[in-house]
Structure 1
Amino acid sequence: MNNYPHPIIAREGWPFLGIAVALAVVVTLLAGLWSIPFWIIALFVLQFFRDPARTVPQKANAVLSPADGRIVVVEKTQDPYANREALKISVFMNVFNVHSNRSPVDGRVEAAKYFPGKFVNADLDKASIENERNALTITASNGQTITCVQVAGLIARRILCYVKAGDTLARGQRYGFIRFGSRVDVYLPLTATPKVAVGEKVSATETILAEL
């Protein structure tokens, strides 16, 4: 399931897309051109749940972006999940980004913890500690600790995570999904070298965030 051989549309979106298209068809049959807004909604749902295949970089010690979006944080801070000082890199996803989440490294999941919380704008720093979130603590193949946190946003109301403690992840492996706008925080050892800057657009799996 986690390797996810799939069509270009994420399986999480099939029910939403089916409902949107069915509704648009019904309105078309009943009201003709008045159905145009419903087709626009169906197209939005289609683009939101797209989930294209990605090419996985094989560079040693690379930490890959777990999400599509824009870099909003690159800073040294406290990792509250692994209790350490860390380099934090955050990726903000808007409603037009692909929302499939992928593993940043090869490694073993040591802990997977869900935290209920608020739904403030995920672009804000306080979202990392106040919003609903799901945190994975991963021991990378080189023995270093990586923390990857899915954070809900202002519109997002559902975090999906398909792995648990003890599972093994491969870099680029699909492990979760967040619906409708959110962010992913990655906490790295202080010795990691960032390869991105605030404001830069990144692609899940294909962009290297940092090197260990």
Structure 2
Amino acid sequence: MRKPPSHLVAREGWILIAAAGLLMILAVRLSSVGLGVLALILLVLLIMLFRDPHRTIPSLPLAVLAPLDGTIKSIEHTDRGCLDREATCITMRVDNFGAYSARAPVEGKVLNLQDNYNDGSRLVGVSGLWLRTDEDDDVVMLIDGPRWLRPRSFVGYGERLGQGRRFAFVRIATTARIFIPITSRVEVNRGDYVRSGEDALAMLIHDADEAV
């Protein structure tokens, strides 16, 4: 199993940040105020974009943690989730200046979304993660964004992910949809801001009476 990166600034941004730093040095050498200001703004923006801070994972084994930093956009029940079953779909507006890495919402085994579909599936080419817990709960996350900047995963199918563990560089994303069992108890409201790996979106419920 590949070890996920744990740097405060994601490695994908090191070259760009170094280039912005060199541009600042060049501006000083040329005594160019305009170029210096541009380089400084670029440097700050790149550091904000690629920052990947440490997160303290809560001791909540049945929690579905936020996989990304962002704002809750909607919470809906659907009878046709991405696994063609009833589910609750929590949609997030991704904060691209939040943490650069995505984190596993639950502990479980990584499965292949395409295994459930034939050619022409609506999920072909979609970036996402399907995790199955030891209790057979399925949690699926789909990430929407530019095709030329899709998330880059560190894990493969069949691997086991710990809750809150980094599993991919998000890059530039617009929204994320998290599908959880219909019996789950949602812990967030529309408009809430959540932090990846720290804030719980929902709790998995195995006794139907507890979900009421």
TM-score range, shorter chain: 0.7 to 0.9
Larger Rg: 2
1:139-190 Cα offsets, whole Å, 9 max, x none, are 1122111111222159x83321222210110001000122234222110110
Partner of 1:63: 64
Structure 1 position 24, deviation (Å)? 2.4
Among 119, 123, 134, the alignment partner of 2:127 is 134
Q: Distance in 2 between matches of 1:192 and 1:39?
A: 46
Aligned residues: 195
Contact 1:137 1:147 in 2 (8 A): yes
Query: Partners of 1:79 and 1:8 in 2: how far apart?
Result: 35
* Aligned equivalent of 2:159, options 167, 175, 197: 167
Shift of 1:132: 6.3
Secondary structure, counterpart of 1:23 in structure 2: helix
Q: Residues of 1 paired with 2:19 and 2:62: CA distance?
A: 43
Q: Which runs of 4+ in 1 moved over 6 A?
A: 129-132
2:7 matched residue in structure 1: 7
Within 2, Cα distance between the matches of 1:181 and 1:136?
15
1:22 alignment partner in structure 2: 22
Quote how far apart the aligned CAs of 1:112 are: 5.2
Secondary structure, counterpart of 1:150 in structure 2: strand
* Gaps in structure 1 of 5+ consecutive residues: 114-128
1:44 aligns with 2:36: no
Alignment of 1:206 with 2:198, yes or no, is: yes
Percent of aligned pairs with the same amino acid: 29
Post-superposition offset of 1:133: 3.2
> Cα–Cα, structure 1 residues 112 and 29, in superposed 2: closer, same or farther, change >3 Å?
farther
**Contact 1:135–1:150 under 8 Å retained in 2:** yes
More strand by share: 1
> What amino acid does structure 1 have at the position aligned with 2:186?
P
Structure 2's unaligned 5+ residue stretches are 115-121, 205-212
Q: Please, what is the CA RMSD of the aligned residues?
A: 2.3
